[in-house]
Amino acid sequence: MSSNPNANPDAGNGLNPPGNIDSRPDGTDAVDSVDRSDSSDLKPKHKLADDEARRSFGLVLADEESEFAHVREPLDPDETVPLFIMGTGLSMPYQPPEQTNLITTRVTTSFDQDCLMRAYVDEQLQSTVYIDGGGWQDVQIAELAELDEVVSDLDGDHTLSWIIENTSSEPLYGSTQIRTLEQGVDE
C-alpha cells in the first residue's frame, strides 16, 4: 500500500495494483498500468437491444494530418470547435431520432491546456465543464446525463452539441470522446 495519505483507498483491489502506484510530490498517485477496469456499463454492439445503439462524439487536436474529419489542427486561444459525430465525418449538432433518448455513459478527455466543454440543447447552453489541462480524465458521468432530463419530449426535433473552447493563452492539443447510448422509449 502506498504511504501517500492521499492514495487511492482501493489500491491493491486489482484495479490499482500496489506495485503500479507511485506517489508524486503533490500528493497524488501515478498509475503505471491497470490490469482491469470497471466496464460494467459496456455491452458489445451485438448484445445491444433492438431499440439501442451506441453513438460516440469526438475530437482530436494535433499537428498530424489525418483522413478522419474529427482530427483537426490545434485550437488557438479563445477558439471553439464542435465535436464530431464519430463514423460520419460530420460535426455536431446531432439530432437523435424520434422517441430516442440519448444517455451519456462515458467521457474521456486529455488536453495539454485548460479548456471548456459546453453542452448545448437546441442551441441553448445546457452546461459547462472546466477541463484541467495536462492530464487524462475518464469519467462515467457527464454534464448531460440523459436528453429526456432536459427536454419535455423526444419528438426528434431536438439537437445536441458539445463544443470545446480553448481558454488558455497557448494552442490546445489533445482529444476527447463522449460515448452515449441511444435507447428507444415508449410514447
- Tell whether 110 is covered by a domain: yes
- Tell whether 115 is covered by a domain: yes
- Number of domains into which the chain is organized: 1
- Tell whether 85 is covered by a domain: yes
Q: How confident is the prediction for the chain on average, in pLDDT? A: 78
CATH number at residue 74: 2.60.120
Q: What is the pLDDT of residues 95-138, one digit of tens each?
A: 999 898 888 888 888 999 999 999 999 999 988 888 888 776 66
- Tell whether 7 is covered by a domain: no
- Tell whether 70 is covered by a domain: yes
Q: Are 28 and 137 in contact (CB under 8 A)?
A: no
Q: Are 4 and 29 in contact (CB under 8 A)?
A: yes
Q: What is the pLDDT of residues 61-74, one digit of tens each?
A: 999 999 999 999 99
Contacting residues for 80 by C-beta, under 8 A, at least 6 apart: 163, 164, 165, 166
Q: What is the pLDDT of residues 21-64, one digit of tens each?
A: 555 454 544 444 444 444 445 666 677 778 788 899 999 999 99
- Tell whether 127 is covered by a domain: yes
Q: Are 90 and 84 in contact (CB under 8 A)?
A: yes
Range of the domain at 135: 51-184
* Residue 11 backbone dihedrals phi, psi, to 5 degrees: -60, 135
Q: Is residue 13 over pLDDT 70?
A: no
